[in-house]
Structure 1
Amino acid sequence: MVAGCGNNILKYILLFLNFVIFVLSLAGVIGSLVFILRPGTLEEASDKISELKDISSLLSPTSIRMGLYVLLAASVLILIISFLGCCGAWKEIRFLLGLYATILLIILAVEVAAFVVVIVYKDKVESELKTGLTKAKATNETAYGDLEKLLKCCGVNDGDPCVPSTGPTVTPKPTVGCYNRILELMKQYYTIVLAVSVITVIIEVFLISFSCCLCSGLGENVA
């Protein structure tokens, strides 16, 4: 058993937080599976949000399905990690707590590294994005035409023509290039992504700290 009132508090805080995360991730798994396995529901959701001016171009059935697969994968991963945290805290198993903290630490390190890379190599990332779009247009016009329809853009740079016969059917056709359109969307949602990232990192730091402290308490008790 964990020794001391402080360690007991840590145990139940860690248990509570992981239980909440477990329930939310389970809801994410169930919800995404419902939409993925029932195409009719996906079509209805796409129709209901088609009137939203700012994001309707990004909420086609295809883009929603891709997002659902990402949500499903992320939810499953979080479900497994939170289950380890719940079991480790409830049963006071040092191995599970250590494994839980290690996985969170790895995820945190990857997130921080990705953030640093994006900041340091911002210009390089933008250059690679333009190169990637150019290659994609040259190698698979059909897929690039779908991208143009999704983002309501034409070509790579502003003023480029749309992909013949597969480009956007709206009149007049967009004059903004897909490269600038993507950059515009990135800037538009930058604040939201940054806020979510900061909150996620703070939660991960707290969970890692609590699990390490609890592991230390268990070690002292065993000794």
Structure 2
Amino acid sequence: MGCFGFLKGMMFLFNGVIFLAGAAILGVGIWVKVDSGSILSLLGKIQNTPTELSQVLNVGYLLIAVGALLVIIGFLGCCGAVRESQCMLLLFFIIVLLVFIAEVAGAIVILVFRPLADQLFAQIGTAAVQSIRSDYGANADVTGLWNTTMTTLQCCGFYNASDFVGSPYYTNNRNQFPPQCCPGFSNPCNQMVAGNSTVSGCFPKIKLLIDSNTVAIVAVALGIAALEICAMAVSMILYCKIKSMKS
């Protein structure tokens, strides 16, 4: 009985955390859809954007769906354990199993269609450079977004400083680049100074960050998979135990 009570407590605690996390994600998703001044609305203003990028505008719906799913899973797990409901525990097991299968299928799809992702990133890069050269220094939203991105990531442009050549900022400031492209230099950020700078583009910086943390990302993914397997095992143990107690 002590082991049964321990499993019930762990089930309640674990799914309570899932419920709260789901509620937070659900709230963020709703906020993203309601906030008209978010970055998502800015992406829709970029000219010559690849059609695939328009799917990013639906990230709010994705967050809402994920949040709602986590809330449901957390609710079923908590209530199923506390109320010793076989129906809730079985439904919890089925949903987590479906999520696990979907994650495995998604991982396989990502590996198989990775070349298409590289092609999409190339199209996004072309659109980003065109946006910089047409709007940076003239459009306050685009300028502010890039300034924030470059300052936060300590990078310059999408690929490099040459992305700004021909932009309104470059033209209006006597062929100078943004100061983020020449950190540590007191001279104006011109072609020569930017060429001596070691700052990389934002896309290579993000790609390097992902590549350097591949092991951590894989470890987190495996950890989540292990937790899902444990959750399914515990729910099924409780289900069988409750069934035997009632029979």
Give the TM-score normalised by the residue count of structure 2.
0.55
Deviation at 1:195, TM superposition (A): 1.3
Q: Residue 104 of structure 1 corresponds to which residue in structure 2?
A: 96
Q: Which residue matches 2:233?
A: 209
- CA 218–123 in structure 1, closer or farther in 2 if over 3 Å, else same: same
Q: Aligned ranges for residues 12-51 of structure 1 at < 5 Å?
A: 12-23=6-17, 26=20
Residue in 2 that maps onto 1:157: 159
* Shift of residue 184, structure 1, vs aligned partner: 0.5
Q: Measure how far apart 1:22 and its partner are.
A: 1.5
Q: Of the two, which has the highest radius of gyration?
A: 2
| 1:170 paired residue number | 180
Q: Any conservation in 2 of the 1:14–1:207 contact (CA below 8 Å)? A: no
Unaligned runs of 5+ residues in structure 1 are 34-69
Structure 2 unaligned segments of length 5 or more: list them.
28-61, 136-141, 171-176, 183-193
Equivalent-residue separation in structure 1 for 2:105 and 2:130 (angstroms): 32
Matched, 1:116 2:118: no
Identical-residue share of aligned pairs (%): 24
Which string of whole-angstrom CA distances, capped at 9 and with x for unpartnered residues, describes residues 110-169 of structure 1? Answer: 322232223233333223122223224435741455444443333443463236539753
Post-superposition offset of 1:95? 1.8
Aligned partners of 1:129 and 1:179 also within 8 Å: no
Change (3 A) 1:119 1:160: farther
Separation of aligned partners in 2, 1:130 and 1:10: 54
Could you tell me which of 222, 225, 231 is aligned with 1:198?
A: 222
- Cα offsets for 1:75-133 (capped at 9, x unmatched): 77545422321211221212211221222123222322232223233333223122223
Aligned length, in residue pairs: 180
Deviation (angstroms), 1:219: 4.6
**In 2: Cα distance, 1:221 partner to 1:164 partner:** 75
TM-score (norm 1): 0.60
Report the residue type matching 1:170 in the other structure. Answer: Q
2:13 and 2:168 map into 1 onto residues whose CA distance is: 52
Is residue 97–residue 212 contact of structure 1 (8 Å, CA) maintained in 2? Answer: yes
Q: Does the residue aligned with 1:160 lie in a helix, a strand or coil? A: helix
Contact 1:108 1:201 in 2 (8 A): yes
The match for 2:40 is none
